[in-house]
Structure 1
Amino acid sequence: MLSIGEFSKICEVSTKTLRYYAEIGLIVPDEINPENGYRYYSIQQLKKMLLINRLKSYHFSLEEIKGLLEVEVDQYKEKLYAALHHKRREIENKIQAFEYTLQQMSNDILNVEHGIPMMAYLDRIEVQLVEAQPMNILYTRQMMSKEEYALGYGSYFSSLYEKIAIDQLTLLGTPMTIYHSQEYNPTGNDTEFAIPVKEAVKGTRDFSGGLCAKAMVKGAYSELTSVYAKLREWVDTEGYELVKSPYEIYVTDPKQAATLEDTVTEVYFPVQKK
């Protein structure tokens, strides 16, 4: 048996952290002396602790790790494989986003060096007044935070595509997101994911068209806030007002784009003249 100090030293995990892990049921000492409360770990638990450390280095949360450790033996390999694959994709997305940010910073540094204002790019965003066509959409709608949206974006559209395949619906357009909340709330916003289809079945609804201010962004979704700002400025300057929820249409599926720069998103503000 190993004392908590010995176990801590070998695994490079503080005794305070080990006590917390025991408290949440992640890894519990094999033995606790009832007289003095000393904690002891078995040699066999070293492998489990090293696995926990390994998964933490892969940016798994303690909750995710605990869930994997509790998986039935006959399902463990499959669950672990799926979890590792998903986490790798998350990290790849983050790396790609950091690379885009670094490129953006380099461009800003160059612009500042040449006396060009950092926000001058806003003037290059083109706004058009268009007549959007009505459509029938298959949708799912719920309250969700920005983090939940980022993590679950693919899964929400995947479930819609799955229903389209099962029900043999006719696809008429690319995915879209409609934002119904009147203001931003970090704890949750009224968000609707939708895909245009031909058939009017359970789970679909009419999405009315109409006059819209439209702008397009090519690149990372982080640029969308700039497009929203530009659209809002245009609406006010041109004497219009927003009449319905803004929405985005993903012209390019981010999963099929070679780089973030290749993704194309259209943003629509339904408007009317004041």
Structure 2
Amino acid sequence: MLDIVFAGLVIGAEHAGFQTSGPPEVCYLTEPRHGAAVDIEARIPVISDAPRLTSGLARRPGGKVAHVCHEGPYEDIADACNALYVWVHRAGYEVVGSPAEVYLAGPADTSRPEDYLTEVVVPVRRCRLPPAG
């Protein structure tokens, strides 16, 4: 399903005169829970010299992120995500925005799910208080 969404984004970007400039990604706007619907934002990075942003385009602010790469099927990504959140807490950071998955290699690149490569990214900042425990 996401492949269709990403293909539409690429076609729309090219039709508007933009050049795509990186792998597709999904930002989770609500927390993923087993069996529950989740709100997402599908994204395709583009190169833009436009002085004003048009509908559907957004500039992302810079900042610190914590990230981890998961190799393998999407169904197995939970362990990588959990390890990332544990590291964030232990390293004295807190999550300050929505997590995203960047699809570095997926079904469009390989027929073998064990070869999928997904980067999980979360925006972070230093905690004001030291972590407990």
- What TM bracket, shorter-length normalisation? 0.7 to 0.9
**Structure in which a larger fraction of residues adopt strand:** 2
Partner residue in 1 for 2:62? 209
1:169 paired to 2:18: yes
Distance 1:188 1:258, change over 3 A: closer
- Of structures 1 and 2, the larger Rg is shown by 1
1:273 paired to 2:126: yes
Distance 1:228 1:198, change over 3 A: same
- What RMSD over aligned residues (CA atoms) do the two structures have, in Å? 1.7
- For 2:123, the aligned partner's letter is P
Q: Secondary structure at the match of 1:255?
A: coil
- For 2:113, the aligned partner's letter is L
Partner residue in 1 for 2:86? 233
CA distance in 2, matches of 1:204, 1:183: 25
1:222 paired to 2:75: yes
TM-superposition CA deviations, 1:160-211 (whole Å, max 9, x none): 0110232231111110000011463744212010001122432111122211
1:198 paired to 2:43: no
Listed as ranges, the gaps of 5+ residues in structure 1 are: 1-151
Q: Which has the higher contact order (CA 8 A, sep 6+)?
A: 2
- For 1:176, the aligned partner's letter is E
1:154 paired to 2:3: yes
TM-superposition CA deviations, 1:121-151 (whole Å, max 9, x none): xxxxxxxxxxxxxxxxxxxxxxxxxxxxxxx
CA distance in 1, matches of 2:31, 2:72: 26
1:64-213 aligned at under 5 Å gives the runs 152-182=1-31, 184=33, 186-199=35-48, 200-213=53-66
Partner residue in 2 for 1:254? 107
CA distance in 2, matches of 1:221, 1:187: 17
Q: Secondary structure at the match of 1:189?
A: coil
**Cα deviation, residue 256, structure 1:** 1.9
**Cα deviation, residue 218, structure 1:** 1.1
**Structure in which a larger fraction of residues adopt helix:** 1
- For 1:154, the aligned partner's letter is D
- For 1:153, the aligned partner's letter is L
1:32-47 aligned at under 5 Å gives the runs none
Q: TM-score under structure 2 normalisation?
A: 0.83
Count of residue pairs the alignment pairs up: 123
CA distance in 1, matches of 2:46, 2:81: 27
**Identity percentage of aligned residues:** 28
- For 1:155, the aligned partner's letter is I
CA distance in 1, matches of 2:15, 2:84: 38
CA distance in 1, matches of 2:34, 2:109: 31
Q: Secondary structure at the match of 1:160?
A: helix
Q: TM-score under structure 1 normalisation?
A: 0.42
CA distance in 2, matches of 1:253, 1:260: 7
TM-superposition CA deviations, 1:215-262 (whole Å, max 9, x none): 001111112111111011111111111000010111114222141122
Listed as ranges, the gaps of 5+ residues in structure 2 are: 128-133
CA distance in 2, matches of 1:270, 1:170: 26
CA distance in 2, matches of 1:182, 1:255: 26
CA distance in 2, matches of 1:177, 1:271: 18
